[in-house]
Structure formats: structure tokens, C-alpha cells
Amino acid sequence: MALFKFSWLTVCIAVFASVSALVSCFFMPSESMIHFVRENGPVENLTLVFYVVAIAFILYSGRSFLTVRTRVAVTVLLAYMFMREASLHKSVSTMSILKSKFWLGSQIPWTDKLLAIAILAPVLWALFYFVEKYIRQWWSDLRRKDGYAVGVFVFLAVLVISKIFDRSLNMMHEMWGWHFDSWVEAMVTGQEEYLECILPLLVLVSFYQYREVYGTLWKQADSPFVSVWLALLASFSALICQVVLPTGDMSLFVQENGTVETLTLVAYVVAIIVVVCFGRRVVLPTRCAILMVLAYMFMREMDLHKRISSESILKIRFWLGSQIPVADKLLAVLVLFPLAWSIAYLILRHARIFIGELVRKRAWSVSVLTFFVVLAVSKSIDRMVSVLTDFSCMYFPDWVLVLRTSQEEFLEFLLPVLVLVAFLQYRQQTGGFFRHL
């Protein structure tokens, strides 16, 4: 995919993670944020899931262009990082085997140190293998700013920065006796956990960028169904999180004004900025209509559609119910008029072009169709339990409600991402879509 050819993609991911941590810390109470990013909390468990996904992808997709030793070395490193994230490095003794005090302290038995050496031997071999076989090639490619080389550098930088965040507050407390407010702890811990969460993602991105450069045994055309796979991945990720996380933590993760919803708002802002800055080849009315739809979806995600009345202005009951004042309905008409104009304009101006491109399976049109399908599915999931409860008097256990909410929130997070994917696919085409606009 053309996106993986962007050399600074991993830098953007790292900046996005750091900004997301700041936004989460700003919107969430300090206690909730600390609970969210604590040890064995939702973010750390999600990081473990990402490591499993990264190992599976590399073992499967790396068969065509990576040697067996290289695949084994990458798997060993990722597996050890997974175990470190799961705090298994403290299982040998009361102290972590990765700390210098474990090796220099006399209170640790020699048998424990010998066992630790045996445990660390595979990861030491993997590091030595990479340094001996790839360090010169990596340094040369880094000077040429190849994407995978930049990704490896960003991975190492993020690893170091996250460790600094991990130790900074404790070191200042131990050395100078400083104490910090809960918001400072929430901000620093949030940065650490969010950055650690993207480490396996950086490995995956660098892996695919390496494939673009050296994967000569695997050449294939870009699939027009990337957006479909993203939708399936989002739904599957929600299921994995449901299995890995305790029900209470998962509920906190996907609750209203929770982390997933906050990240969805950030994604909408990013989509709006990208369309404004890089959509100048689109005629002004079309650009304004797209931005209007994104802005209204952003406001809907913030629940601003409930500000006019206690009932959402997007529900039929608001318009048919006699309990809603006429003045509120007139105000709602004025509020929704720009959105109605935008939708009508896009349908009248571009529906025929969209259908023709969809018949030819152009990537951007498939992404637009996926956007509408995901929007419909997320709304159906949102209403399903309520409808069954109201009409059939059916009641569901907590895990079913959390499963429903997680599927809905993960798919809603995907919506602005699909807009960005479709936009990049527009640009990838040689003027095809823009020529019609």
C-alpha cells in the first residue's frame, strides 16, 4: 500500500500516541486515567494483544522474504517484550532480572542468577544476530531515509523515552523526596503506557516497509478491499479485548466519554485537518460538503445532538412527539439544514460517479461503501439491545452489554479512519476521482 511508502509514517504514529495520551489525560479525571493506564490495566492488556498480533503477522507474512533465522530472532524479541510487558521478568525473584541490582546485589542467590542467564540467552542471541547481520545495512538505509530504517530508529527512541517516563517520577522521589499531584502521575504514566502500546505497531509498520524495499519475492497489486479488512480487524480487535480484559475494565475502556470515544474525536479532527490541507484539488462545494459531514459526525460523537432538548434531534420521536415544543423543532431544522444540504449535494453530484467506480471496484469507492456499511452496522448494534429489551422484555448479562458497546465504539472509531483511507486512495489514483470533481 502507498501509505507504507511514507518514510515518516512511524514518526506520525508516535506523535499521535503521545498527543492521544495528553488528550485522554485532559478529558478524563486523574483517578480514571490512572486506573486506565495502571499495571495490568486496559492499555497494558491491549499492548499484549498487539504483541500477539505482531508475532502472528510476521511469522505468517515473513515466509516469502525473511530467512528462518531472521523470523526466529524477530519472534524471540517480540515474545520477550511480551513477557516483559506481562511482568514475567519478576517471576524468577522478587526483583526484576532486567535491573542491575539483581546482578550486583548479594541478596540474590547464584542459582537465581544462573536461571536468569539461561532465560535471557535467547534474547541475547537475537540481539547479537541483528547487530551482526543487519546493523550496517540499517545504518545505510537510515541515511537514505528508507521507511523501515526510520521505523526501527523510532522504535528504539520510543522504547527509551517510555523507560524514562517509567522511572522519572520514582527517581525524583527517591533522590530528592519530591511528591507529585495525581494529574502529574496520570500524565506521565499515560505517556509511558501509550508509547509502550505502539511499540508492536511500530514493529509491524517497519516490517511492511521493509517488505516494500526488500520483499522481491512477494509482489502483488494493492487490494481494493483494504477498508473491508480494516472493518473486520476493528470488530475482531473488539472481540479480543473483550476476552483479554476484565468486564469492568472493558466497560471503562468503551464507556461514554471514555478512551475509545476520545480517540474517535481525535481521529475526526485529524480527518478534517487532512481534508482541509490536502484536498485543494477538490472543488470548493464538494470540499465544504465533506467537511460539513465530518464536523456533524464529530458533534454527534460529542452528544451535542442532545443539547437542544432532552431528546436527540436525530430520533424520530423528537419530530413526531407532541411533548417537544415547536420552537425546539424549528431550531433543530436550522441546525440540521447544513447537514441536509451537504448530503443532498453529495448524492446529486456524485452518486452516479460513485456507482460507476464501485462497479469497477476502485479502491476509494469500496472504502466509501464500507464507511456506510460500518455506520449502519454500528447504529444497529447501538439500538439492538434496547429494542429487544423494550419490545421483547429481554434482559442481558453485563458481558453481553459490554460486548455490544465495544463493537459499537470500535466500529465508530473506524469511521474517520475510513475517511482518511478513502482520501489517500483518491490521491493514489492518477486524477481519476479528482478529474470528475
Give DSSP secondary structure letters for 375-417.
HHHHHHHHHHHHHHHHHH-----HHHHHHHHHHHHHHHHHHHH
Q: Is 36 exposed, middle or buried (0-12, 13-18, 19+ CB in 10 A)?
A: buried
DSSP label of 4: G
Residues 6 or more apart whose Cβ sits within 8 Å of residue 208: 1, 4
Does an H or E element contain 359, and which?
Answer: helix 326-359
Q: Which three cell numbers stand for residue 407?
A: 463493537
- Average confidence score pLDDT of the chain: 81
According to the model, what pLDDT value does residue 128 have? 92
Full-model pTM: 0.59
Give the pLDDT mean for 149-171.
87
Which of 26-35, 194-203, 289-298, 357-366 is the least confident region?
Answer: 26-35
According to the model, what pLDDT value does residue 434 have? 40
According to the model, what pLDDT value does residue 433 have? 39
Which of 175-184, 242-251, 279-288 is the least confident region?
Answer: 242-251
Largest CA distance in the chain: 81
According to the model, what pLDDT value does residue 279 have? 76
According to the model, what pLDDT value does residue 392 have? 67
Axis-axis angle for helices 182-214, 68-85 (nearest 10): 170
